[in-house]
Amino acid sequence: MKVDKAKAIALIKKILSAEKENLKTKAYNREQMAEKIKKMIEEEVRKCY
């Protein structure tokens, strides 16, 4: 799979934003947060690759 770096960086920013928000709200625990990121990645792969 050839990864598009610009798209990957855009996703990273999205993930970091979610992490930052979670540090404030503490809405998700570690496992839930990992699951959330996993879904973001799966969605991105499904959509772009």
Partner 1 sequence: MLLKSLTLNNFRVYKGEQKIVFSTNRDKNVTVILGKNTSGKTTLIQAFKWVLYGKTDFVTADFLLNLEVASKLLPGDSADMKVVLELEHNDVEYIVTRKQKYLCISTGEVKPEQAKVIIQYKLPNGQVSFEKNYIDTINKILPEELSEYFFFDGERIGNLGSNNRRGRKDIANAVKGVLGLNVLDTTITHLSGGDKISVIGKLKNSIDTQGDKKFEQKKKTMEQLREKLNKATKLVDDFEKTIDYYSMEIEKKEKLISEHRDTAELKKEMDKNAAEISINSRNKEKKEHELKKVFSEKAPMFFMQPLLYKAIKMIEDYDLVDEGIPEMHSEAVDFLIKRGRCICGRKIEIGNEAYNNLMKQKNYLPPQSIGTMLRVFMTNANHFSNMASSFHEEFINIYKELRTFKKKISDLHSINESISDKIKDKPNIGVIEAKVRELKKKLNTLQRDREEEIKNQAIYKNEIDKLDKEIKVLASTFEKNKFVLDCIEYAEYILDILTTHYNAMEKTIRKKLEKKVNEIFAQMYHGNRTIKIDEDYIYEIETPIIDNDFQKKADESKGLETVTSFAFISGIVSLAKAKIDKSFGNETETYPLVMDAPFSNADEIHVENISKILPEVAEQVIMFIMHKDWKYAEKVLGPKLETMYELDKQSETYTIIRGEVNV
Chain residues 7-46 in contact with partner 1, contact rule CB under 8 A: 8-9, 11-13, 15-17, 19-20, 23-26, 30-31, 33-35, 37-38, 41-42, 44-46
* CB neighbour list of residue 36: distance below 8 Å, 6 or more residues apart: 18, 28
Residue type, 37: I
- Closest contact distance (angstroms) between CB of 42 and partner 1 is 5
DSSP code at position 28: S
| Distance, CA of 4 to CA of 34 (rounded, Å) | 22
Site residues (vs partner 1, CB under 8 A): 1, 3, 8-9, 11-13, 15-17, 19-20, 23-26, 30-31, 33-35, 37-38, 41-42, 44-46, 49
